[in-house]
Amino acid sequence: MRILASVVAMVTVLGARAAGWSGLDRLTEMAGRWSDSRPRVATAPPTVAVLAAPAKLTFPGGKPGLPWPASGQAQVQVAGIGMIGHSGGSDPVPIASVTKVMTAYLILRHHPIPAGQEGPTIVITAAEAAAYPQQKARGESLVRVAAGERITERQALEGLMLASGDNMAEILARWDAGSGSSFVRAMNTAATDLGLTSTHYADASGLDAGSVSTARDLLKLAPIAMAEPGFAKIVAESTATIPLNRVKTYNTLLGHDGVIGIKTGSTAAAGGCLLFAAHRTVSGHTYVIYGAVLGTTGTSGTILPRVLAASRRLIVATGDHLHKTTLIPAGTTVASMTTSTGTAAEYTVAKDVTVTGWPGLGYTLSLPAGLTAGQAPTTLTLTTHAGTGAGGEKRTIALIRKTSNPTGTRTPTGTSTATTSTGAKAPAIHYPQAGSQKWKFAAGKSAVAGRTGPLLRYRVAVEAGITGESPKDFATQVVNTLGDKRSWTGLGTWRLQRVGAGDPYDFIIYLVTPVTRDRLCGDTAAGEVNRYTSCRNGNSVVLNVARWVHAVPSYGAALSVYRQYMINHETGHRLGHHHELCPGPGHLAPVMEQQTLGLHGCRANAWPTVDGQAYNGPAGAYGDSATGTSADKS
């Protein structure tokens, strides 16, 4: 082109000399017309990267039901993942000897025991020895002591945590703070510092019913205490020998079902209580299950066995639900933008994003804050959401650039291998994130599909700016799907006919860009951002071109099947059908299941009938990334 421009310039000069300089303007004008005849491509301005995947994801499967105790309160969580569930109330209740968890934690914070050592020596006072007979008469849990007896810090803590010695709590409190009251003040200060907002200690042993807490607070304390190596070692012991005593733990779950601690408790005021920790290994990685069960009812002889049994059921059930899955397969497009050079870029996850969790666990995807127009995202954040204060996980995911295509005035984000209405291979479908919101309607009419039932007429429209999918070809796919005997018209309840732009109609089936999808589905007006799913909003059946081109990860069927599902599902909403759930692992998915959000154990299915009969699942819906509007989103 530079050579051509030079030739034009030379011709201009030579012509000017031959014709006289007065002809220069005319020749320059001719050269300008020649130059302007070249095709020009308008460069799209750069945009800020946006998500091209749902902002909210869900671990596949139905939410687990745990065997919660019939009385009291309970909560279970998995360290690093979050809370799997809770039951009962949330008011502070007496916690009996579970109080000793804070006692032991504070002692070890003030007097750490080096690995392999026993810690300082504690001398039993005459008053502490003299109090033993009275304490025994009151039925307290005790460790036998004698005046002048010398025990190590470790032995005292073993007497406290294994034998649940109330007198050991008092002895340790005096040794650490000079008096029981001073130590209790330190316990309450520590509770405040640790954010235990519903916890108050009245004594160091828990014998006083004024020592109260909640399951939620105790599950904040448990992982902190277990992070102290000396604490974790002691609560993992079944038996210990200390002067005058051979003690054993009350926690008979220890060593079974992965249980590694931590403390039992039982009084008439508190009922049966257990704060527990258990290991569970999933795909070679060991997780810690923490749980608190408080207020199990029964007699003095049954409350402790009952709370142990209830806790074991929760431990086993939680472990059974915990497993690993691929949440986002490698190569999945998760972000898109227009670069500073006017090209479209898509960004995919570099490798499979695998997570360990349980069915129904929620996740949020987010791009880094502060990205500027044209700035490429290199990472994505995946945040686990499993209950307030449950310690949900945050992970950084590496992204790689997938495509870079000249856009002109378009922002292409995908291609497909569909065929045209004539059977020829279709051109690649290109589309911008935000289209013109102007429509190209398919002309003409189709035959009436279906033999009986009310007749509904529909138009078919493609948003201007989408290329490679003409209104005629899009309409052909819609008509072929809705006219199939496996579709809604095969049930004998409806007749459907496509009509042209000037004909009366009952609804319109649109193929739209992601941003226009949000406007037609009502998300924009509600302040929501979706851009991922399709929807039906009133008389608008809105099919997202991003899904039309890319389908969804792990769908397990051809793109043509997913497109048939899109048409049948959203049209089903217009015909009055609501969302349904997967009927069970391995079953065909009902067409009204939100298959775009995952199959939840079912197999892909595009049709509302199977073997000529209506095929349905249980009523219900799975989570969507934008649920604030009245539209049906899938």
Residue pLDDT, tens place only, 247-264: 999 999 999 999 999 999
Going by pLDDT thresholds of 50, 70 and 90, the confidence category of residue 392 is low
By percentage, how much of the chain surpasses pLDDT 70?
86
Structurally, the chain folds into a number of domains equal to 3
Going by pLDDT thresholds of 50, 70 and 90, the confidence category of residue 219 is very high
- Stretch 429-446: mean pLDDT, rounded? 92
The larger pLDDT score, comparing residue 626 to residue 329, is at 329
Q: What gap in Å lies between CA 259 and CA 586, rounded to an integer?
A: 34
pLDDT at position 568 over 80: yes
Q: What is the pLDDT of residue 44?
A: 60
- 597 within a domain of the structure (yes/no): yes
Mean confidence (pLDDT) of the chain = 86
Tokens (6 digits) for 249: 């733990």
Looking at the fold, whether 92 and 24 belong to one and the same domain comes out as no
Looking at the fold, whether 95 and 26 belong to one and the same domain comes out as no
Q: pLDDT, tens digit, for every residue of 73-84?
A: 999 999 989 999
- Stretch 147-154: mean pLDDT, rounded? 96
Domain containing residue 467: CATH number: 3.40.390
Looking at the fold, whether 152 and 22 belong to one and the same domain comes out as no
Q: pLDDT, tens digit, for every residue of 7-38?
A: 334 434 334 333 343 333 333 333 333 333 33
The larger pLDDT score, comparing residue 3 to residue 237, is at 237
Tokens (6 digits) for 93: 């209740």
The total of other beta-carbon atoms located within 10 Å of residue 301's CB is: 8
Nearest CA among 392, 389, 393, 391 for reference residue 214: 389
Tokens (6 digits) for 594: 């939100």
Q: What gap in Å lies between CA 440 and CA 119, rounded to an integer?
A: 82
Final residue before a domain boundary, out of 219, 250, 272: 272
Nearest CA among 446, 430, 434 for reference residue 482: 446
pLDDT at position 321 over 70: yes
Going by pLDDT thresholds of 50, 70 and 90, the confidence category of residue 317 is very high
Q: What is the pLDDT of residue 634?
A: 67
Looking at the fold, whether 191 and 91 belong to one and the same domain comes out as yes
- 609 within a domain of the structure (yes/no): yes
- 114 within a domain of the structure (yes/no): yes
Strand, coil or helix: 369: coil
Give the pairing of strands 507-512 and 540-544: parallel
Looking at the fold, whether 481 and 539 belong to one and the same domain comes out as yes
Selecting among 100, 220, 263, 440, the annotated active-site residue is: 100
Looking at the fold, whether 27 and 124 belong to one and the same domain comes out as no
Least confident piece of the model among 130-139, 190-199, 461-470, 623-632: 623-632
Q: pLDDT, tens digit, for every residue of 97-136?
A: 999 999 999 999 999 999 999 999 999 999 999 999 999 9
- Stretch 550-575: mean pLDDT, rounded? 92
Of 3-17, 44-58, 503-517, give the range with the top mean pLDDT.
Answer: 503-517
Tokens (6 digits) for 566: 């899109």
Looking at the fold, whether 147 and 237 belong to one and the same domain comes out as yes
Going by pLDDT thresholds of 50, 70 and 90, the confidence category of residue 337 is confident
Q: What is the pLDDT of residue 24?
A: 32
CA 483 from chain center: how many Å? Answer: 38
- 260 within a domain of the structure (yes/no): yes
Q: What gap in Å lies between CA 616 and CA 135, rounded to an integer?
A: 67
Looking at the fold, whether 573 and 512 belong to one and the same domain comes out as yes
Domain containing residue 220: CATH number: 3.40.710.10
Find all residues with CB under 8 Å of 245, minimum gap 6, and list them: 143, 144, 159, 163
Nearest CA among 597, 599, 596 for reference residue 617: 599
- 76 within a domain of the structure (yes/no): no
Going by pLDDT thresholds of 50, 70 and 90, the confidence category of residue 43 is low
pLDDT at position 365 over 80: yes
Q: What is the pLDDT of residue 71?
A: 93
Looking at the fold, whether 455 and 565 belong to one and the same domain comes out as yes
Selecting among 71, 87, 141, 164, the annotated active-site residue is: 164
CB of 576 closer than 8 Å to CB of 569: no
Find all residues with CB under 8 Å of 359, minimum gap 6, and list them: 59, 60, 61, 62, 63, 64, 321
Going by pLDDT thresholds of 50, 70 and 90, the confidence category of residue 623 is low
Q: Which residue has the tokens 């000079």?
A: 178
Looking at the fold, whether 153 and 26 belong to one and the same domain comes out as no
6 is catalytic: no
CB of 170 closer than 8 Å to CB of 132: no
Q: What gap in Å lies between CA 381 and CA 379, rounded to an integer?
A: 7
Q: What gap in Å lies between CA 511 and CA 493, rounded to an integer?
A: 26
By percentage, how much of the chain surpasses pLDDT 90?
68
- Stretch 290-294: mean pLDDT, rounded? 98
Q: What gap in Å lies between CA 230 and CA 126, rounded to an integer?
A: 29
100 is catalytic: yes
- 192 within a domain of the structure (yes/no): yes
CB of 593 closer than 8 Å to CB of 581: yes
Looking at the fold, whether 107 and 246 belong to one and the same domain comes out as yes
- 555 within a domain of the structure (yes/no): yes
Least confident piece of the model among 151-160, 474-483, 620-629: 620-629
436 is catalytic: no
Strand, coil or helix: 36: helix
Which domain does 481 fall in, by range?
439-633
Q: Which 8-state DSSP code applies to residue 68?
A: -
Going by pLDDT thresholds of 50, 70 and 90, the confidence category of residue 631 is low
Q: What gap in Å lies between CA 569 and CA 488, rounded to an integer?
A: 10
Selecting among 71, 87, 97, 141, the annotated active-site residue is: 97
C-alpha torsion sign, points 523, 525, 529, 532: positive
The larger pLDDT score, comparing residue 401 to residue 459, is at 459
Least confident piece of the model among 10-19, 42-51, 439-448: 10-19
Q: pLDDT, tens digit, for every residue of 373-391?
A: 989 999 999 999 865 444 5
Going by pLDDT thresholds of 50, 70 and 90, the confidence category of residue 573 is very high
- 581 within a domain of the structure (yes/no): yes
SS3 content of the chain, % helix, strand, coil (to 5): 30, 25, 45
C-alpha torsion sign, points 396, 397, 401, 403: negative
Looking at the fold, whether 101 and 176 belong to one and the same domain comes out as yes
Going by pLDDT thresholds of 50, 70 and 90, the confidence category of residue 331 is confident
